[in-house]
Structure 1
Amino acid sequence: MIRKPWRQLPSVLYALAIYGFIFLPVVVLVLFSFQDGRFPIPPLKGLSLRWYEAVWNDGRLMEALANSIAVAVGSSLTAVLLGFLSAYGLARFKLPAKGLQRALLTAPLTVSYLIIGMGLLITFNAVGIPKSLVAAGIGHVVINMPLCFAIIYSQMGDHQANIERAARDLGAREWQVITLVTAPMLWPALFASFFLSMTFSWDEFIISFLLTRFDVTLPVEIWSLLRSGLNPKTNAVGSVVFGISVVLVIVLELVVFRKGRRS
């Protein structure tokens, strides 16, 4: 049967339109971050790294960058730990209303970040917790832990339970079963949960905006810059955020998914 390439033309054009719609704004952002002029408007006038140098030399941006990394790493580790323990408890023990508990744990995935942020803000004000990076980190745990739980719980099968049972028969204590048997078997799911949480926490804005005051994360600092109008400096720092997100996704693909497929 002879294939007619023109029949695939609509599919190719549709795919190009979809990818163009998704990535064209990012391409424009990155391209004009290298513009030598002060205004990020076409036509492109020369190429320069001056705006990346300006970002590097900006103390507030560098502090916000460090804050974002600290919040993302801390909240992701906490979300993975809580998600793993919750998944282990619901998968390995007979608990009352197990289905309801699973639904409650995953419910935040269906709630707007704005609603979650406002609820946390009211709660923290009521108990006397001030706006801070710690409060923002707690908020990131709230939105990322349900995702970690869903990923890890989906990978806990009966074959792993049999191996855990064999470890107990050989004299292993419960904490040894969890740390030396269960966690190593689930490491692809644990790493996937961690990197996805890092990605979501890294560029999360709404909860960080509501729960921080003086020490802010990078997305909140970018929003402050945008209030004075667009300039190549904001494009540069936005490109940095996008670049780090891409690196996290690539690491997730190379370290977790490919090894998971090989095994």
Structure 2
Amino acid sequence: MRALPWLYLVAAFVFIYLPVGTLVLFSLQDGNLPVPPFNGPSLRWYADILADDDLTGALGNSLIVAFGSSAAAVTLGFLAAYGLARHVLPGSALIRGLLIAPLTVSYLIVGLGLLIVLTRAGLGLSLWTAAIGHVVINLPLAFAIIYASMGAQQQNAERAARDLGADETRVVLLVIVPMLMPAIAAAFFLSVTLSWDEFIIAFLLTRFDVTLPVEIWSMLRSGLSPRLNAIGSLVFLISVTAVLVLEIFVFRRRRS
């Protein structure tokens, strides 16, 4: 009976990571088709995609959109969380509900709505409009994480700082932000991860300068190839690295 939980754990991990393992394995395929039998290992497809200007450009676009939109979403989410947690506002519960509500809305609906609004506003589709869309979907997440971390401990420190003569700006920058840094960092890294992998909004709100998921989709129309496996493996590696950094430097420090 003691082995049953371990068997269940192993089965769960196999179920989750078998598709990823298969993707990584056939990204090392030396042949032109990502199908058995395995012929390799070889890094030719990684060298091929890293030498592709379209792919490297899309990769750079994804990084710009992910980090830029995440920084904006976390900043706005922090300001909203601070305002609603520290000030009594009429209908604050309704405001919190409206801020979190986009988490329950399909990205397709959000993307179509933004496409109509931005087109009516005369804004051309670009990386800027994709970044705006990612701010919209990541702001509720950042707000929820930061708001949940604003407890009585921070409030007591804020009062002590004000009693010692600190103005509101110094209280925010020197007291609140450092105390909430684990939550802020968690919100930022999760936003980066979601923006990095997001396809629907990026597809609807970009035209010529596309992100990596959109570039991968355009390649899929030509059929499967080891190049796609290599791209997917790199995306998986970057995402896992971000999660591990988050776990090591944020969550573990917060628990300690």
Scaled by the length of structure 1, the TM-score of the pair is 0.95
Q: How many residues align?
A: 256
Match of 2:233 among 236, 239, 242: 239
Q: Which residue of 1 aligns with 2:207?
A: 213
- Paired with 2:8 and 2:148, the residues of 1 have a C-alpha distance of 34
Q: Counterpart of 2:252 in 1: which secondary structure?
A: helix
- Paired with 1:59 and 1:46, the residues of 2 have a C-alpha distance of 26
Q: Which residue of 1 aligns with 2:183?
A: 189
Residue 223 of structure 2 corresponds to residue 224 of structure 1 = no
Match of 2:140 among 129, 139, 146: 146
Q: Which residue of 2 aligns with 1:26?
A: 20
- Paired with 1:24 and 1:220, the residues of 2 have a C-alpha distance of 25
Q: Deviation at 1:166?
A: 1.6
Match of 1:36 among 14, 30, 33: 30
- What are the ranges of 5 or more consecutive residues in structure 2 without an aligned counterpart? none
Q: Which residue of 1 aligns with 2:42?
A: 48
Q: Which residue of 2 aligns with 1:167?
A: 161
Q: Which residue of 2 aligns with 1:198?
A: 192
1:148-192 alpha-carbon deviations (Å, 9 max, x no partner) = 100100010112112111211222111111111100010000110
Residue 131 of structure 2 corresponds to residue 134 of structure 1 = no
Match of 1:14 among 4, 8, 11: 8
Q: Which residue of 2 aligns with 1:176?
A: 170
Scaled by the length of structure 2, the TM-score of the pair is 0.98
1:82-139 alpha-carbon deviations (Å, 9 max, x no partner) = 0000000000001110100000000011111111111111111111111110000011
Counterpart amino acid of 2:185? F
- What are the ranges of 5 or more consecutive residues in structure 1 without an aligned counterpart? 1-6
Identity of aligned residues (%): 62
Q: Which is further off, 11-20 or 187-196?
A: 11-20
- Paired with 2:121 and 2:191, the residues of 1 have a C-alpha distance of 27
- Paired with 1:80 and 1:173, the residues of 2 have a C-alpha distance of 23
